[in-house]
Amino acid sequence: MSSKTSAQEVIKAARSLEAETVEMRRYFHEHPELSFHEKETARVVEDKLSALGYKTTKGVGKTGVLGDLNTGKGPGQGTVTVAIRADMDGLPVQEVNETKFVSKNEGVSHACGHDGHMASALTAAKLIAQGKIGDLSELGGSIRMVMQPAEEFGDEEGKSGAYRMLEDNALDGCSAIIGLHMDASLPAGKVGIIPGPIMAAADSFVITILGKGGHGAYPETAIDAVVIGAQVVQAIQSIVSRRISALDPAIVTIGSFHSSSTRGNVISESVRLEGTFRTFNQQVREHIIAELERACSLARVLGGDFKIEYELGYPTTVNDPEVTEIMRQAAIDLIGAENVIAIQPKTWSEDFSMFAEKIPGAFMFLGAEIKGSTREHHSATFDLDESGLYIGPAVLAETARRLVGHYKAKK
């Protein structure tokens, strides 16, 4: 098949593999594995890529898999490698659905759509390997499948799968990276994509307010950590409304408030607050950290003290404008402009962001809403409408082809 393969031929080829894509998604859904425990998942992925002619590397980023399809340099100097990423891990959530493909692993489920991500990526890998998008060798292109472990949770050092794969040089030689996320709130058959920040940085904190314990009958002899903590919470809740510009989206949430006292007549000597904040640029991220410190300083004004600990999570996922436009146009050509949505940025967080900091990247959302029964991500009833699943492989494969040509032209 020529490198001039039309978008109509690509979408037709993806449709011809639709049943196989759905079958793969359901297999992975039945057999979920937790972060950095994706051994059987990785084996299946590696077997499928090897069978398609990809040179595979196992154990990348602990339990990840790379698959390289080297198609030759073609005309000009050097080859261009484009990476396609999919995450493989499930969540510690007990599924309660009654489908035929319900999770067989007790207490674990694909409650976020990673089963769909793997199925989409592997079908894209097949479309490319079998020349369904044209002959990449004519363009001088290579493809790297980045099958990533542990997007949901980090290891004992708090490092996620993307971080660990980067430590193992998973993107060396790659010009760009693309990926997708299933979206159970976007209608099936639609694709959502925008340039710039598309998902938030997600960070967490623990604040300990220190006072002086005492008897509830003599509050004047104590320094009540609960009272101080309540005022600190109020101050924190005004950070976004009064200290951050309305033009900069941000969220600060206190999700837990625990006192050292468990009795009504005992004044607490300490309280523990746990929370999260989500931002879309580094300046706002740093501003919120400074404002949290300022809010907590109330404890000292009121006679107590505080300490605050941060766990900085994934950075903001930022879509490279150039790569995003190529992906957006590919999607338009495949499924029509009316089905390609300029969605609002999501306050979810994704470690694809780490890859997109390393090289230009674009991340899209693939609609999978079950009409009349929207399923929440990370919930026990999470599920997908599979009717638009074939679109994911088509967009990934066609975007990869166009990116090869785009970067080859720059060499």
Note the pLDDT tens digit of each residue in 351-365: 999 999 999 999 999
- The pTM of this model reads 0.93
pLDDT classification of 79: cutoffs 50, 70, 90: confident
Q: How confident is the model at residue 158 (pLDDT cuts 50, 70, 90)?
A: very high
Which token pair is 363? 């991340």
Give the C-alpha separation, 343 to 194, whole Å. 7
The yes/no answer on whether domain 7-199+316-410 falls in CATH 1.20.1600.10 is no
Give, as one character, the DSSP assignment of residue 140.
T
Q: Does residue 151 have an active-site annotation?
A: yes
Catalytic residue among 30, 46, 87, 89: 89
| DSSP one-letter code for 388 | G
Phi first, then psi: what are they for 86, rounded to 5°? -140, 140
Active site annotation includes 311: no
Measured distance CA(364)–CA(396) in Å, rounded: 10
pLDDT, residue 328, reads: 98
Check residue 345 and report its DSSP letter: P
CATH 3.30.70.360 maps onto the chain at: 201-312
DSSP state of 376: P
Is residue 92 over pLDDT 80?
yes
Rounded CA separation 184/181 (Å):
10
Query: Which residue intervals of the chain bear CATH 3.40.630.10?
Result: 7-199+316-410
- pLDDT (mean) for 13-39: 98
Return the CATH number of 201-312, one of 1.10.630.10, 3.20.20.150, 3.40.50.300, 3.30.70.360: 3.30.70.360
Q: Which of 38, 151, 320, 369 is catalytic?
A: 151
